[in-house]
Structures are given as C-alpha cells and as structure tokens.
Amino acid sequence: MLNIDIVLMVGGKSGLEVALNRTADYLSNHGIHTRFIQIVSTNYSWHTKTADFIDLGFDRNLIFQETIEAYAAVIRAGSPDLVLVTGMPEVLYIAKGALSDCALPVPVIAWFQNDLSYYGISSTHGMDIFSYSDIVFATNDQMANAIRENFPSKSIYRVYNPINLKNICFSGDRNTNKIAYIGRLSPEKNVQLILKALSLSKNYWELTIIGEGDERPHLVALCQKYNLSTCVHFYGWTDYPWDMVSDHRALIVSSIDHFEGGPMTAIEALSCGMPVISTPVGFIPEIISNGKNVLLYDFDAPTELANILDTVITQSITENDANFCRDSVVEYRPGIALWDFLCKVTASAKLVGLPQRHWEDKENRIIKYKASVLISDLSKDDKLFIDQLTSLASQTIEPVYYEIIVVHTQKRNTLDSFLHEYEAKYSDIVLLVECDDLSSNKEAYEIASSYASGDMVFSFENINKAPEKGFIEELYLKHICHEA
C-alpha cells in the first residue's frame, strides 16, 4: 500500500477542499492511504471519511522552522511514500525541509489550484519555490508553460479536478432569458461587472445568483442603482445549484485576471449542457471548442459582455448544442480525471515516470494508454469462457482505456449467439474475430494480436477463472507505472 501525505496551509470551504476530499476517497478506494496535514488550525471539518487528518495546530503567525520540526515529527511517526503540497507555495519549503530533517528521499509534488500570480509568482519572480518540488501537477497549460520555461527538465503533468456527477442536471432546453452566476460573492469574482453589463444590455435578462460572501450588500445596492432589483435574484449556498438553473441559457463567469486556475463551476455548467460566457481566466481559454461551448469577453469589459448577451438571446440552443457542451469537458468526469490522477500519483511515488504523451498535445492530455485484452475460446469450456467475458465487460476501468479482442473458432458454434449479442452490447470495447479453424492457442493469440490497438497487451491464455472487477485496472496501473 502506498502512503500519501496531502499537505496544505489551511482548510476552508472552497473548490480546493471539494477536490481534495473527492481525490482522497478515490485514492483510498484504490488502496492508497492518505493523510491530510493541515498546518494552520481552522474550524473546517474534512468531509472525507477515508483519509486521516492531522492538525499541526499553528496560527497564521507561524515560524517556518517550528512548522518544519512539527511536520518532521509526524513523518517519523509514519513515513509517507509521496507528499502532495497544495494551497500555498510556502508549504513546499516546509515539506521539503521536514523530509530533509528526516533524511527521507520522498518525492514532493507541487499541486496548486490558483493562477501563479495569485501567489505572487511570475516568470521573473518567485519561481524558485518550485526548486523544492520534484514533480509538478499543473491545473492549466499556462501554469505548466511558465514552470517548464524555468525548469525544463522537471516532470510536469497536466491534471484535472473532477466534477461531482451527483450535482449535474443535464438539459437541452435553455432558450430562455435567464442567466446564472454560481460562486462566492467576493471582490475577485467581480460580480458587479455582470450587473453593469445587464444595465447596458438592450434586452431583458433575469440573473440567478447562487452563493454567499461579503460582497452581497454591495451587489444588492448596485441592483437598486441600475434598476435591476426585480430581475436579479439572490440565493444562498445550495448543495444542488444546477437543479435551480436547469432552464438557464448560460453561466456567466466574471473573475478578475491573475486569480484562479479555472472555475469548476464552468466545467459543471458545460457538463449540464449549459454554455459559458467568461473572462479568459485560468483554463477557460483551453476548453473553448469552435466557439460553441464558451464565449470569451475581456477582463473589466461590461460593454463587451452586454453585446454578447444581446447576440446570444437571438440564437437558439439545440439538444445537439447541449450535448456538444457536455462532451467538450469529458476529461473532467470523475472516472477519467481521477483515474488519470491515480496513474500519475502512483508513477510519481515510484519515481519511475510515465511514458511521455506530452500534456502540450491537446489530443493526449489524459493518460489514455489503451490495454488490449486477448481471449480465445479454443481451450476453455463454455461456462468459464462466458464467465470470463462477462467479467471483462464489467471491469472498473473506464472503457476508453481498454479493448477486448475475442477470437472465436467456428467449431464452437454453441457460442455463436452469445458472442454476437456480446459484441453488439459492448460494441465500444469488444471486437469479435471469427476463424474457420484454429490449431493452437498460440495461433489464436497471434491472430488476436494483429487486431490489437493498445499500448499494452494482456493475454488470458493461461487464466482459468473469471477475473475480479478490478483485475484489468490493477494490471494497467502496474504496467504504466513500470514503463520508462
């Protein structure tokens, strides 16, 4: 079992903690023990029940050396195989210092959610903090590019925070005059820009605001100033915001420059089939696809936003448009994003690296090394063969990561009906290859191999039982984390 520490300065109620809780649960379900190491005490209660939680007990006026010594004591009581540092860059220095005090060559990953400039880091200032990391998990391409320019030999992997599918409410019926904002009501979110744009628009819009924050009184006052009080509706936090806006035409993002790595509300909106109108913040420009899912306007440009709204209201949103929005962010779906993260975490802990499909290549950002599973009915009885195929089609690994090549000899005609139904039912992962006759298992697997398109091949030639549901996932992970 791998042991991983996730070290952060402070915990609170934001998208970071949501991502951390979900990630810890997923890692735990795949046999990785996780500890949250929180340096500064708060009242935040971590939702995950699968990870351990250690509060180092410092206040915000901490002394670095004392913090290093406190974390070093935790490490001596139970050494991690990998340290993930998130939240604030200063924690990199603390984590590396503690490991150094313990003389442990444990790899440290820098994994930050916000724009680098949010931390005061630019291409010419503050970048040296990444010298305390062995690996970087970048949440957007801009961040990855900036770090790579300064550290060209450092391992940098592009990672994706997973959405919560339980909150997603997909709908293709969005031809209304309603728009939504979902998030904190704080200065960096710049919601006042949306209100100004509404006051400039030539059309009537209703704005649903879901969220809380210190800016709410100011925003209410602006609604009165712009005569928007009857068309702007304030709601507090809710666990199911997308249900409330299932008929809204678009989500508006108004965040200021140099603040966040990218708002997850935009990914969730697109997953619901809702277009996004946004400032070019964080990863938002990266997810634009033919201008059909995201429309950009410049920072602090309410007139430009008003013009976009005036254009959008004249255009119809079809079911195909909604499907396009959803499909444009498939890499953020939990089964794909978290599996990708698991592969990179495991490889990083083992210090073996991954076969390089560079994150810069937009077609290969996600770990999509396909596994080809080869199986023949030549030397198996019908029941065993059917049990094996049934199990292979219900594996825990996502279908994009594997295929099943089934070689069927015509002499086994008792299997004909089952195999054709099987291929039709699982057409996305199963290829049936029919042969008149086969002389040996070797010949069967040579034929299967000629059809395999995967980067790795797993043979069922000598396996005489149905595999467990996690069997292919485990083989895949072991293989990918031992390839140089």
Q: What is the pLDDT of residues 17-41, one digit of tens each?
A: 888 888 999 999 888 999 999 999 8
Domains plus CATH for the chain?
2-158 (3.40.50.11930), 165-332 (3.40.50.2000), 368-480 (3.90.550.10)
Is residue 226's pLDDT more than 90? yes
Select the highest-mean-pLDDT range: 155-159, 182-186, 335-339: 182-186
Is residue 261's pLDDT more than 80? no
The token pair at 234 is 């304030």
Is residue 59's pLDDT more than 80? yes
Select the highest-mean-pLDDT range: 192-201, 250-259, 456-465: 192-201
Banded pLDDT at 483 (limits 50, 70, 90): very low
Check: CB of residue 268 under 8 Å from CB of residue 244.
no
The per-residue pLDDT for 239 is: 85
Is residue 482's pLDDT more than 80? no
179 vs 69, 198, 210, 235, 482, CA distance in Å? 51, 10, 11, 14, 49
The per-residue pLDDT for 362 is: 54
Beta bridge mates, 206: 178
Least confident of 9-23, 101-115, 331-345, 378-392: 9-23
What distance, in Å, lies between the first and last C-alpha atoms of the chain?
A: 22
Which percentage of the chain shows pLDDT scores above 70?
A: 95
Give the span between the Cα atoms of 163 and 18, in whole angstroms: 9
Give the span between the Cα atoms of 126 and 361, in whole angstroms: 27
Task: Taking residues 382-403, report their average pLDDT.
Answer: 90
Banded pLDDT at 355 (limits 50, 70, 90): low
The per-residue pLDDT for 365 is: 56
- SS3 of residue 288 by DSSP: coil
Least confident of 44-48, 252-256, 268-272: 44-48
List the beta strands (DSSP E) in 96-205.
Answer: 108-112, 135-138, 155-158, 178-182
Give residue 304's identity as a one-letter amino acid code: E
Give every CB contact of residue 414 below 8 A, 6+ residues apart in sequence.
382
Task: Taking residues 261-287, report their average pLDDT.
Answer: 92
The per-residue pLDDT for 444 is: 87
Banded pLDDT at 455 (limits 50, 70, 90): confident
Check: CB of residue 232 under 8 Å from CB of residue 198.
yes
- The full length of the chain comes to 484
Summarised one tens digit per residue, pLDDT across range 131-149 is: 999 999 998 888 888 898 9
The per-residue pLDDT for 86 is: 92
- Per-residue DSSP letter, 50: S
Is residue 249's pLDDT more than 80? yes
The per-residue pLDDT for 118 is: 83
Give every CB contact of residue 452 below 8 A, 6+ residues apart in sequence.
372, 374, 403, 405
Give every CB contact of residue 24 below 8 A, 6+ residues apart in sequence.
6, 34, 36, 48, 50, 51
Angle value at C-alpha 429, between 22 and 453, nearest 5 degrees: 105
